[in-house]
Structure 1
């Protein structure tokens, strides 16, 4: 019996050593640290992105974290050039960047930013102070000061065009979500037009401090936007904010995490595994991560997949990704 346990222990040691050696082999070419391009503080990108960056850093034993950026357009540029290993973007800005229409570098086709995993949908929503009397899009007065988020963000790229389509005349303001929330509260803005995963931290903060109106689109307004922009129907659940008594009609655009296409396949595969294999951990980071589930891989119809990410979804989610949608094929 003693010989049996000794032999079993020896086998376990050999197996453990082999596993450790395999683990080391898998790490060939891995960076010593990484950053995730997010967006401004007070927005969902920053909270969500910093959260998964820290989770991956802890799980893989690598130094990493979120970085404040101008949002999806800048993240596409940073990841394309390799200045950031990872980032987060929205399908609209991703398509524009691939086509060479990113305002940060006009004419540069940003084809070295690859899809990594689905995050969540970004609803477009409008918030005003209750004291303003603004309860609908029609109520927004001519020349209203509207905060559209950081310059170059998804919100700043699409919401002004949406407002134009709906016939709203406004004064355009930019800034981080937290700053804009403060300006709304101080009466320096009339409205904030948010494009961010819900709940938007800045709106949740405003609700605690003052009375706000979360303004939904009418059916006609929603249809006008659906007809003119790369978005889909969405309802902001009533449980999202204490202010909402029933779901609010909206539209949304999908967000994906992106990786520099030159990163080692094994590294990206390991990162995707950390994020996608335990949804509960992600939801603890941000409630928007309820949509960060494997079956949403098919919401990417724009970006080439990183080979390491594609392999994870093929092996774990039964994904059928066309060869021409995988980078390097």
Structure 2
């Protein structure tokens, strides 16, 4: 009986210590969190708002997505502590680390850490079918082209890409939904999208009117790949009703980011919530089919948050110590 009592007391002490550790970990967590996304009508907004809600449900901390100017602004907001989490692409991330972000020129934004892989962002061109534009070469000189929100991945890279291909244009900015409305009303000629597919604004456009999704030629694709930090990509035919076959494009990887000084256990649980619930993520947006742990190696730019790195390392995806923020 004495031995039994000692065993019961010991077990109770272990449980109490475990509970105390858990309470101590959570005591350092924020009372709520915000995820920086991008404009409404784009993939970032749909995806980011969805994963914020999923994480909030899974870990019991209120959270939500917030409209922002996209990857560059998200890096700055997370770095400055205005938001806990955000979403970015690898090109803007590399520029931000080097102090070359258009949001904060000369200031290395190094307090934003990698959290988990999201998906590839294809760069694609959409026009109305009655425009007569069926290729990049068909875009008339001086055409008004919408490049998304100012400072977004599209706005940062797509104008340079089209200039590289010899296109002369009048640059316009705005949210994707707003630009889609302008295209339909004839106020602009072209939208140059950089967003995970299917892009909500394009899906809505093709329901309301006839559109062309313009692909790059092989030569154009190679020329862009030789000049910019992008890879070859094909937009699958089943992505849009408009496509009868895959469309040649280029793409850049997106990663979720976390403020580097957030508690390790908080980011660990938030990472676990997304990485272990891919079916729910795909229900939020089809681009999340690429949000799987195996794609962790697509990040060669940002240091990993220690909490995120711990989840990956525990689950068989090795992240080197020199790639983990300390």
Separation in 2 of the partners of 1:222 and 1:189? 24
Separation in 1 of the partners of 2:51 and 2:79? 20
1:85 equivalent in structure 2: 84
1:5 equivalent in structure 2: none
1:323 equivalent in structure 2: 321
The SS at the match of 1:250 is strand
1:22-101 paired onto structure 2 within 5 Å: 22-101=21-100
Separation in 2 of the partners of 1:210 and 1:224? 32
2:136 paired with 1:141: no
Q: Deviations over 1:96-136 (max 9, x none)?
A: 00000111111100011000000000000000000101111
1:3 equivalent in structure 2: none
Q: Deviations over 1:56-77 (max 9, x none)?
A: 1111111110010000000000
Report deviation, 1:324: 1.6
1:84-163 paired onto structure 2 within 5 Å: 84-163=83-162
Q: Please, which runs of 5 or more residues in structure 1 have no aligned partner?
A: 1-9
2:174 equivalent in structure 1: 175
2:277 equivalent in structure 1: 278
2:5 equivalent in structure 1: none
Q: What TM-score do you get using the length of structure 1 for normalisation?
A: 0.94
Cα-Cα RMSD: 1.8
Report deviation, 1:26: 3.0
1:220 equivalent in structure 2: 219
Q: Deviations over 1:29-72 (max 9, x none)?
A: 10000000000000000000000001111111111100100000
Q: What TM-score do you get using the length of structure 2 for normalisation?
A: 0.95
2:261 paired with 1:266: no
Which aligned runs of 4 or more in structure 1 are off by greater than 4 angstroms? 10-22
Equivalent pairs, count: 320
Q: Deviations over 1:208-255 (max 9, x none)?
A: 100000000000000000100000000000000000000000000000
